A and B are shown apart, each in its own frame.
Chain A
Amino acid sequence: MDTKYFVNPKLVVCEWIPMGVNNLVSLNRHLGSHKKYTAPTAFGMKGEVQNLEDGTFKMESSGCFLQPVHFTISGELKAIIKNHHSDTDAKGLDIDKDGACYIGLEFDRQIEIAHIKDIIGNIEAQFASQFLPILTDTQMSLLKCSYGTKDNSKLCESLSSYAMVITDGVGVNITSTQEFLEDESAKNLLTPITDWIIGHYSTNECHIFIGVKALVCVGVPDAQLCNLLKKVLFQYTLFNISLRLYSTMWANMKILSGMGQTIPNSNYKDLKADNNKLADLQNDFSKHKIVCEQIKKTVESKLNTLEEDISGKKSPLYLNLKKGYLEEVEKSQDRSVLIDQMTIDIQALRDQMQQRMSLIITKNGERLNLTLLVLTIFSVIGIGEVLGFSTDKVLLVTVVLSPFILFVIRGFIQYRKDYKDGK
């Protein structure tokens, strides 16, 4: 089989980062974008300054380097990102206040189509190791929550992106996307990068194939189409993020329902553990709520700018893009309702747990009192023995006490079961 190539491809990988205006302004200021520095600045070095009183300090490793190219202080930053100041493996980073983050690079040669996913994987991993250490703890916490991961290293591996390839050609002549996809010899040409193709458009002398994992644009898009493609890219990135977020929420909902079923039979130790787990879940749901709100704000912001682009245009690409963003708003609202419902469920579970814990404590209190009573009676018998009571009397008292003793033993066993290692 012939190897197929992208001709002079430009590759853009898109990620969503919880950004916001404050973080972007802060990044722009710290980078010195307004000073138009021509040399890069290092960020995200491992370690932290222990004592600000010391003029010099030592870090554990170097970070990544950002060199501003274009910016608006509260809107966006375009910068070159690299591993060290003379790195030849530099990439373009374009991030805006909504958290749309594009990492781009271009090749002035042919690249095998099947090799592109490998390159995308490498870009994702490099970007994660370079850019994530720059983020604040809060941003990282929200990002980890979105992807359902607890530690930073796993987050680097689990970023879910969407990619775009803009290429001068794919080695076969394309007259329209429809014809291309109907041609038996060509229709699977792009799937190694796109996976399933779910949309295709021929517009502005370009042919656009939208897949589940990536989109391919064959041709030379003008500025207007580039702007539109950026929005398509981001919409599918948000789609993936939403999917991941919902999966994480679903997993948490499952844990919650499992807890509800076990409470009636749980012992004190299990209840205490579940109570801690419940606090974690509540914390997660609070973060989910914030992420949902941020995504909703992001989508609404993008929709506003899209409305300006779209005015009067009937192109199916525009219309489907708008539809995609509107669906994201709807999904976001749907998730918010779900989170509200989960918050109520958590409260109900917490009440149920408290009741069960109180019941266990009360029962054990009763058993303890009974134990004290029996011990007191034993003491009385002992005193009777010392004072010379007859054997019959002692036997009679012992027989009378037998049920109490059995009850105490049973209570002790129950106590052990409820409290075993549960302090």
Chain B
Amino acid sequence: MEINTLSQVSIDKDQKCILFAYSLYTNEQEYTYLQYTAACALVFYLSQKGFFNYNLNELLVYDYKEERRYIWESKKFMADINILRDNGLLLRARSRSKTSHDVNAHQCTILGHQYVKYLLNTSPEIKKTFDNIKRELSCNGGEIKKIKLLNDAPHLCCRYQSQPIKGFLKSFAQSPDNSSKIPPHNPFFI
């Protein structure tokens, strides 16, 4: 791809950082994909670490392994993904699994990888941010942490460590000591 073409790509910093995260985990040429649920978990974690400024209170009912759960998803994040897709930097795919006939996933395209490389070479500021993201997602040995969707929470895992991403899954199950979180209200009939 021509440098001129890459320089014409116009995306904001959030979108660049999302693309970089995808480039760490996926590759069009290798047919590797990142589940959308896992991507949400990853960006939620990076938002907690201050790399994004997404609203962490937005929710989505979505597939989490074989269940439907309340997970975090900011509509701005969703829109950013679509902008990356429209620019040909990210691909959306629906694949099958052994137990379900549809898994929503994305992958960084060849162009996406080229663009990340271009940014690393041309923008010291963004390179610094990318390096920080990579450091945040790496184990001590430099290996990129895997994302595991475990029952209690998604985890960022490497050989010696499994770190839960707290707050990503929301559970509304009532416990005796947990009073209703619905604001004060009266019965209503239509």
A residues near B (Cβ < 8 Å) are: 26, 30-32, 35, 37-43, 45, 47-63, 85-86, 136
Which positions 18-71 of chain B face chain A at CB distance < 8 Å?
25-26, 28, 30-35, 37-39, 41-42, 65-66
Q: In the complex, are the beta carbons of A50 and B25 less than 8 A apart?
A: no
Q: In the complex, are the beta carbons of B66 and A56 less than 8 A apart?
A: no
- Residue B32 contacts which of A26, A57, A61, A85 (CB distance < 8 angstroms)? A57
Q: At the interface, yes or no: B86 with Cβ under 8 Å from chain A? A: yes
Q: In the complex, are the beta carbons of B32 and A45 less than 8 A apart?
A: no
**Interface hub of A32, A47, A53 (most chain B Cβ within 10 A):** A53
Please indicate the chain B residues that have their CB under 8 angstroms from the CB of A54 in the complex.
146-149
Interface residue range, chain B: 35 or more
Give the shortest distance, in Å, between B138 (CB) and chain A (any CB): 15
Give the shortest distance, in Å, between A409 (CB) and chain B (any CB): 56
Given contacts A39-B85, A85-B88, contact A57 B93 (CB under 8 A): no
Q: In the complex, are the beta carbons of A55 and B146 less than 8 A apart?
A: yes
Give the shortest distance, in Å, between A31 (CB) and chain B (any CB): 8
Q: In the complex, are the beta carbons of A50 and B146 less than 8 A apart?
A: no
- Which residue on A lies nearest to B105, using beta carbons? A57
Given contacts A49-B103, A52-B65, contact A85 B31 (CB under 8 A): no
Q: In the complex, are the beta carbons of A38 and B95 less than 8 A apart?
A: no
Please indicate the chain B residues that have their CB under 8 angstroms from the CB of A61 in the complex.
31
16 CB contacts below 8 A, A to B, read A37-B82, A40-B92, A41-B93, A42-B92, A45-B31, A49-B35, A49-B103, A52-B35, A52-B100, A53-B149, A54-B149, A56-B25, A56-B38, A56-B146, A86-B88, A136-B101
Distance between Cα atoms of A58 and B105 in the complex (Å): 11
Q: In the complex, are the beta carbons of A48 and B149 less than 8 A apart?
A: no
Q: In the complex, are the beta carbons of A58 and B65 less than 8 A apart?
A: no
**Interface hub of B35, B65, B96, B147 (most chain A Cβ within 10 A):** B96
Q: At the interface, yes or no: B102 with Cβ under 8 Å from chain A? A: yes
Distance between Cα atoms of A307 and B59 in the complex (Å): 48
Given contacts A37-B82, A49-B97, contact A56 B32 (CB under 8 A): yes
**Interface hub of B82, B95, B149, B154 (most chain A Cβ within 10 A):** B95
**Interface hub of A30, A50, A55 (most chain B Cβ within 10 A):** A55
- Residue A59 contacts which of B33, B38, B42, B88 (CB distance < 8 angstroms)? B33
Given contacts A52-B100, A57-B32, A57-B105, contact A63 B146 (CB under 8 A): no
Distance between Cα atoms of A323 and B33 in the complex (Å): 51
Closest 6 CB pairs of A and B: A55-B38, A55-B147, A49-B97, A39-B85, A42-B93, A59-B31
Given contacts A39-B82, A45-B95, A56-B34, contact A30 B65 (CB under 8 A): no
Q: At the interface, yes or no: B185 with Cβ under 8 Å from chain A? A: no
B131-170 vs A, Cβ < 8 Å mask (1 yes, 0 no):
0000000000000001111100010000000000000000
Please indicate the chain B residues that have their CB under 8 angstroms from the CB of A85 in the complex.
88, 91, 109
